[in-house]
Structure 1
Amino acid sequence: MTGKRYSAAATVALICAAVVVTAPGAAYASPAPSPRPTDPAPRSDKSLEQVRKDIDELYHDAGVATDAYNAAEEKADKQSEQIVKLAKDIADGQAKLKRLQARAGAAARAQYRGGGMPDEAQLMLSDSPGQFLDGAGRMRQGQKATKGMLTELERTQEDLRIYAKDATARWKKLEANRKAKAASKKRIKKKIAAAEKLESTLEKKERERLRKMEEAAALKKQSAWVSSGVLKDIDGKASAQGRKAIAFATAQIGKPYVWGAEGPGSYDCSGLTSKAWSAAGRGIPRTSQEQWKQLPHVDVKNMRPGDLIIYHSDASHVGMYLGDGAIVHAPRPGRDVTITGAGSMQILGVVRPDK
């Protein structure tokens, strides 16, 4: 019945429109705009889900490249510090060498003034035996001092050769890391640009659906993780340093993710965790991959608030455990520092900065 009423009403409306258009002297109404052939058809959920997966993969690849960039930057910073120290050592060595050369020159001039006669001969020709014995003692001391000076001169010259060789090697490594940084930066920008381009093809409603799909996917993984009963065994308490790290990390909530950033206005995932633990008085590696490699591992069932959860098989993401199955993390470009489920991503393992 409803369908019939709708059909009849539509027929009446069409007839009325025809009368208005064809009636003599009547104002002509503009025809309803027909859909433009260039308007994209709305994506199906299946199609949009594939877009979501593609975007996730692109941002994951950007995250891997970001870790490589951060690692190269950290190495370059350390190498720059070492080169500065070597430069100081070289400058000090050159000053020392100059002083030693001046002393050697003075000794040579003194011998020249003595007529070129060796000290031993001059002492043997002395008229006073006491003066001879006293002079012989001074001569031995002088010989010892001269030998020590020459040894020191030779050692200083060798040190300078080693410093120069080490500095050259470190310059080469620094240049290699600069190139690695540039290559990683290029990959990051390429992946992020591709993800943003893909996302820009979506209509506003589709972008809203995409965000809901992301949330639903994360919630599904978190629910499965919680349903496994893992939280029943997790009852650790945060250490004093852990509480400080958590306070710092949660204070950054709402700040944007920016690759390579370490605050204070923006962060990437490992930039957030490394700065949080630095604020707690514990320095840790800059990248999630090095945090996984270098920090002590703990079982998930034994983790406590403040521990770091490393994600994905390549250790390309990290978040800080807050307790009650939640983490604080910097997710990806286009997102802000936030709290989410600890099991919403693939967990590789857990590390403890203050073990």
Structure 2
Amino acid sequence: MASHRKSRTPGPRVAGIRTPVLATAALTSVALLSQTANAAPTDDDRPSLEEVEKKVGDLYRQAESATEKYNAAKEKTAKQRKQVDTLLDDVAKRTQKLNEAREELGSFAAAQYRTGAGIPDTATFLLADTPQDIFDQSQLMDRMTGRQKVAVDDYVTQQSETMKKRQEATESLETLTESQGDLKTAKATVQKKLGDARELMAKLTAEEKARLAAIEKKKQQEAARKAAELARQQAERQKAQEEAAQQESGTSDSSESSGSATSPSTSTDSSYAAKAEKAIAFARAQIGKPYVWGATGPGSYDCSGLTQAAWKAAGVTLPRTTYDQVDAGTTVPVSQAQPGDLVFFYDDITHVGIYIGNGMMIHAPKPGAYVREESVYYDGESSIHSIVRPA
């Protein structure tokens, strides 16, 4: 008798197993999705040139921020290492004196033992917590000579001070180790940010690099325009001040028969200008030298290393980092900036240059660049944080 059951539609077999049509479709979809995920990104997936430019700029600024943290950690580490060396040297000298005093007290104990005073032998004496304990327990302090009593008191004092110095040295070593860790972390951060920036730039095509150069040129032109405008405003302000001074001088001459014509403020400005001239001359002599993070010259500089060296040439000592340099003088408005003033950038104060007048400055810009003269608006007007007069 023939069977009335419908025959099943044969499906594909995988390794001898019949696979349902629905499962086959699912496998095909997964395969297509996998191919899509592994496929090279299309032009639509790539970041725009403007996005790349912003990202690279951000990375460089982050690297500069890490550089200033590196500079601070390096300076702190150097100071702490010097402190530790001083403490260890002091401990070594104190220990030597302590050993000499201990030997002297040992001779006292041996002498007392030989006279039958009941003092234990020298070895027992030296193993005691303090020489004072031995003499107290033996009730021999009243039998000791004045010289011996002084020696015991001196030993106890030296022992206490030596232990204190040893503790200070231990704590300083721990702090030094922590600072060295911070230094290592900051260094790794700088290298990572710079590596990421270089990697992004390396992915650009020749055409994109050309477009990026055009964008940069346009930014420089705008920065130069703003610098010229600032120079014009400053010139007008200077002229107005000179005219006011002349009028004041004329009034003074008509009402006074004698007296000095130089005001304290004029004398101060003159003194600052002389120092600023030396600082600028030094900075200008460094133009063309490479930016190297953490460098303070003479062959290369980072931003704060350059400003520190420039003002040192003028006889003024500035702190090492931008974070400290910004507090090393008097803040003035941008419109009143004078040659020699320090120009700080960004909200986190991670960049600095030295103002040379006419809206221009000399600075060490970033890794891969060289010390150069540039508009203070090189990265836009909003990037300027403050102007500081350091002397």
Distance across 2 between alignment mates of 1:57 and 1:194:
11
Name the aligned partner's letter for residue 252 of structure 1: Q
Deviation sequence 1:159-188 (CA, Å, 0-9, x none): 222222122222222221222122222221
Residues 219 and 341, structure 1, Cα contact 8 Å, conserved in 2: no
Deviation sequence 1:25-67 (CA, Å, 0-9, x none): xxxxxxxxxxxxx9x98xxxx9333322221111011111111
Residues 225 and 343, structure 1, Cα contact 8 Å, conserved in 2: yes
Flag the 1:95–1:194 CA change in 2: closer, same or farther, 3 A. Answer: same
Q: Which contiguous aligned blocks of 4+ residues in structure 1 show a shift greater than 6 angstroms? A: none
* Count of residues paired in the alignment: 292
Residue 296 in 1 paired to residue 329 in 2?
yes
Residues 308 and 321, structure 1, Cα contact 8 Å, conserved in 2: yes
Residues 223 and 376, structure 2, Cα contact 8 Å, conserved in 1: no
Corresponding residue for residue 176 of structure 1: 178
Q: Equivalent residues in 2 for 1:210-289 (5 A)?
A: 210-221=212-223, 223-224=225-226, 227=229, 231-232=234-235, 233=237, 238-289=272-323
Deviation sequence 1:277-305 (CA, Å, 0-9, x none): 33333332211112124x12321344432
Deviation sequence 1:119-139 (CA, Å, 0-9, x none): xxxxxxxxxxxxxxxxxxxx9
Counterpart of 2:368 (choices 323, 328, 334) is 334
Give TM-score scaled by structure 1 length: 0.72
Flag the 1:212–1:329 CA change in 2: closer, same or farther, 3 A. Answer: farther
Flag the 1:224–1:142 CA change in 2: closer, same or farther, 3 A. Answer: same
Residue 348 in 1 paired to residue 385 in 2?
yes
Residues 228 and 358, structure 2, Cα contact 8 Å, conserved in 1: no
Distance across 2 between alignment mates of 1:105 and 1:230:
84
Distance across 2 between alignment mates of 1:77 and 1:288:
18
Distance across 1 between alignment mates of 2:107 and 2:389:
62
Corresponding residue for residue 124 of structure 1: none
Residues 227 and 359, structure 2, Cα contact 8 Å, conserved in 1: no
Residues 91 and 165, structure 2, Cα contact 8 Å, conserved in 1: yes
Residues 59 and 195, structure 1, Cα contact 8 Å, conserved in 2: yes
Residues 284 and 291, structure 1, Cα contact 8 Å, conserved in 2: yes
Residues 257 and 331, structure 1, Cα contact 8 Å, conserved in 2: yes
Deviation sequence 1:66-98 (CA, Å, 0-9, x none): 111111111111111111111111111112212
Distance across 2 between alignment mates of 1:273 and 1:117:
73
Distance across 2 between alignment mates of 1:169 and 1:116:
44
Residues 52 and 214, structure 1, Cα contact 8 Å, conserved in 2: no
Corresponding residue for residue 126 of structure 1: none
Flag the 1:113–1:234 CA change in 2: closer, same or farther, 3 A. Answer: farther
> Mind listing any 5+ residue stretches in structure 2 that lack a counterpart?
1-39, 120-141, 240-268
Flag the 1:173–1:110 CA change in 2: closer, same or farther, 3 A. Answer: same
**SS at structure 2 position matched to 1:155:** helix
Residue 319 in 1 paired to residue 353 in 2?
yes
**SS at structure 2 position matched to 1:327:** strand
Residues 234 and 303, structure 1, Cα contact 8 Å, conserved in 2: no
Residues 270 and 287, structure 1, Cα contact 8 Å, conserved in 2: yes
Name the aligned partner's letter for residue 231 of structure 1: Q
Distance across 2 between alignment mates of 1:347 and 1:230:
17
Name the aligned partner's letter for residue 386 of structure 2: G
Corresponding residue for residue 65 of structure 2: 64
Name the aligned partner's letter for residue 68 of structure 1: K
Flag the 1:352–1:146 CA change in 2: closer, same or farther, 3 A. Answer: farther
Distance across 2 between alignment mates of 1:165 and 1:234:
60
**SS at structure 1 position matched to 2:48:** helix
- CA shift at 1:114, angstroms? 4.8
Flag the 1:106–1:267 CA change in 2: closer, same or farther, 3 A. Answer: same
Distance across 1 between alignment mates of 2:153 and 2:224:
70
Residues 289 and 370, structure 2, Cα contact 8 Å, conserved in 1: yes
Residues 330 and 338, structure 1, Cα contact 8 Å, conserved in 2: yes
Name the aligned partner's letter for residue 265 of structure 1: G
Distance across 1 between alignment mates of 2:165 and 2:301:
38
Residues 257 and 335, structure 1, Cα contact 8 Å, conserved in 2: yes
Corresponding residue for residue 92 of structure 1: 93
Residues 288 and 370, structure 2, Cα contact 8 Å, conserved in 1: yes
Flag the 1:224–1:98 CA change in 2: closer, same or farther, 3 A. Answer: same
Moved more, 56-65 or 203-212: 203-212
The share of aligned pairs that are identical, in percent, is: 37
Corresponding residue for residue 206 of structure 1: 208
- Please give the root-mean-square deviation of Cα atoms over the aligned residues, in Å: 3.2
Flag the 1:147–1:281 CA change in 2: closer, same or farther, 3 A. Answer: farther
> Mind listing any 5+ residue stretches in structure 1 that lack a counterpart?
1-37, 119-138
**SS at structure 2 position matched to 1:262:** coil
